[in-house]
Structure 1
Amino acid sequence: MTPLYQVSDSPAVVSKKYFSRRELMPSQNSSVWQIQSGSVRTMTYLDDGTIVTLGIWGAGDIVGSALSTIEPHIIECLSAVEAVALPLDRQNKMVEALAAHVEQAEELMVIRSYRTVDSMLLKLLGWLAKRFGRTVDNGQLIDLRLTNQDVAEILCSTRVTVSRVLTQFEDQGIIQRLPLHRIVLCNQETLRRAG
């Protein structure tokens, strides 16, 4: 089996670095960090400054912005850390598949970190439109058969609350509901705010 990360034996390619507690590790799209000792947390922050922890990582774990689409993607040392920079072989299909899974999990985690169901639901609809939507005359059609209960479970809310917020969005012209639990996110301004 081909390893996920191709590492050269050349010392010029693999370099060990030391970081102190609370220091931020640099992140590049062409490489990742493998933690040798210590612990780090990956995090981002919302528009309002709220910090969202994406993960806690320790010895043997691999972190880096190359594995995420979340911006900003911050790696903060929780202790003294020894890490090795590994060049990332983006040609490896397994790397691409794993990165896609991590990215999706992080995006959903950030969506669920908003304080109100209104904000979470708007961000979720924008994310669904971006990933699964197709352009129609009046916006982006989210052609997934997600019930209000399905959406409530994604957001850790209740079906009643999701139904109420969807009705508000419909009254405000943000969405249009179609048969079979399909939704149209109605305009570019809404898509930009939701994204």
Structure 2
Amino acid sequence: MQSILPSVVSRLPVQPATRTFKRRSTIPLQQIALWRIESGVVRTLSWLEDGSTVTLSLCGAGDVVGKFLCAIDPYQIECLTDVEVTPLSPNEWHPDPAFLLERVQQAEEFMLIRSHRRVEEMLLKLLTWLSKKFGREVQHGHLIELRLTHQDLAEMLGTTRVTITRVLKQFEQQGIVQRLPNQVTLLQPEAIWHYEI
């Protein structure tokens, strides 16, 4: 019996400790039910019959993603930055209740952001959320350390790239954001609270 066990174990597929994926690549879902993000940011998404995408979540270091956690089909994981991930088996993952609570809260926040009627409100709420999750405090506000295109923001909010460009320009003129190539700084919170829709 002891001689059979090592040969069986040696035939089991060995998963690499970590894998690296480039920005804009997709993380494979076959054979691996869960991925723990070690560094970088991904978005999970689905799409509708008309081809429009629906962002389900944005996840960063420490988060766990994968088909095992989602009942939506189709389902995809896209890298928004270069990403390092570790494969996990559902059997070896024992989530902390705080992790599950955070996932539920994030889903609720996304639903609330998308529920606003006006794009200006949705975008402002999304930028505020992004600044908390993926930002850092700088002299004049919160720098969102995530390269998102206008198309990315449009897909997250279910609108068009042209509309996002127009609203961001309006926000910049009103002193709500400061834009540099591939960067947005959400200016001091008091600027936001005085924004009238």
Using structure 2 for the length normalisation, give the TM-score. Answer: 0.49
